[in-house]
Amino acid sequence: MGLSKCKLGELIELVTETNSELKYKADDVRGMTITKEIIPTKANVKDTDLSKFLVVHPYEFIFNPRTHGKKIGFGYNNSEDTFLISWNNIAFRVSSKAKGRVLAEYLFLHFNRSEWDREACFRSWGSSTEVFSWDALCEMEVDLPPIDIQQKYVAVYNAMLANQQSYERGLEDLKLTCDAYIEELRRNIPSVAIGKYLIPSDERNTLNLSADSVRGLSVSKDMIETKANMNGVSVSNYKIVPPRYIAYVSDTSRRGDKMSLGFNRTKETFLVSSISTVFKTDTRYLLPEFLMLYICRDEFDRYARFHSWGSARETFDWDEMCDVRIPIPAIEIQQDIVNIYEAYLTRKEINEKLKTQIKDLCPILIKGSIEEAQA
């Protein structure tokens, strides 16, 4: 038997089980991304009624019917865990009558392609918000090779996925090692105010850098491409951020109780808005990379928010930054811990590239399976 064509509605069925008995809790709630990953929810569901949330078992699919920038938030539960998703999302599975025709993993390869995203968005409707409905999904067509060919190409995908996941577990071990060193320092070294090791900088754009050098500061503590429209904007008064300098926005009241901050890890010099505070450290005593290990922690955001002051807007000013207290070991120990963390960052970047390569492989595998079925 060669290639067959059918509508997805012939292969899948809705998942309607709800958390009516509240067996699953807030920690079990998951979300999905436009890169087709399942992640812990970013929503605050602490006081939410979870009884109407959908229960998702292994080998079931989820998607957000609201389109996001020509992409569909989607995920496949390839774990052994059961979790919850919000009632306004959709969950489905391969129907019992179709299990001899299609593998759930093969369907995920089909969904995990930009071609599928484009067709799904084309089939979406709405005025203020475009919605990709269950009915629209069921009307989409799919080419199905025989099960043995599906299994062959799924095996290739699973082998690469297992390799990436193994790499990712090693990545987390590095992060835990770094965190353990920081906790040990807290127990064994008295904390001191960092102010005497910080050097503020108010240097403006004397280098005549262009708007291409402008960066934004994020709550994830990264310097990012600016989202502002820089057309016609003069950047002569923008502050420069040389390599190994730190910049932050003092206003903490408008960003979900988090501070927007960034560290220039590159060899380039960037520009930030004049409202930003820019500084460097005295590297004889405090490495900026070591300081960032503390600044990037959630507890620093909580500290900065608690110590912010103001009426119309609350700010964490320079004096408050200088009063932050951390344990500061010998510079050699700082460097050793930083080396571990930078190894973690490097491996994290490689891991993201592996994920991208696996995603890019999906359309190739689907194409290969179809061509083999047609041969």
**pLDDT score for 256:** 65
**pLDDT score for 318:** 93
**Is 30:85 a contact under the CB 8 Å cutoff?**
yes
Domain boundaries, the chain: 4-144, 190-328
Domains 4-144 and 190-328 share a fold: yes
What would the pLDDT profile of 213-244 be if each residue is shown by its tens digit?
A: 999 999 889 899 888 888 888 899 999 999 99
**pLDDT score for 259:** 86
Label residue 255 by pLDDT band (50, 70, 90). Answer: low
Both tokens assigned to 298: 């959630």
Label residue 171 by pLDDT band (50, 70, 90). Answer: confident
- CATH entry, 190-328, from 3.20.20.140, 3.90.220.20, 3.30.70.3270, 1.10.150.120: 3.90.220.20
Label residue 312 by pLDDT band (50, 70, 90). Answer: low
- The answer to whether the predicted template modeling score (pTM) of the entire model surpasses 0.75 is no
Please give the mean pLDDT across all residues of the chain: 92
pLDDT over 90 (residue 207): no
**Is 213:225 a contact under the CB 8 Å cutoff?**
no
**Bridge-based pairing state of the strands 61-63 and 74-76:** antiparallel
- CATH entry, 4-144, from 3.20.20.60, 1.20.58.110, 3.10.20.90, 3.90.220.20: 3.90.220.20
Label residue 369 by pLDDT band (50, 70, 90). Answer: very high
pLDDT over 80 (residue 347): yes
Q: Side-chain half-sphere of 154: how many Cα atoms within 13 Å? A: 16
**pLDDT score for 311:** 65
What would the pLDDT profile of 37-48 be if each residue is shown by its tens digit?
A: 999 998 888 889
pLDDT over 70 (residue 1): no
Question: What average pLDDT score do residues 99-124 get?
Answer: 95
Task: Print burial letters for 196-234: b (CB count within 10 Å at least 16), e (below 16).
Answer: ebbeeeeeebeeebebebbbbbbeebebeebeeeeeeee
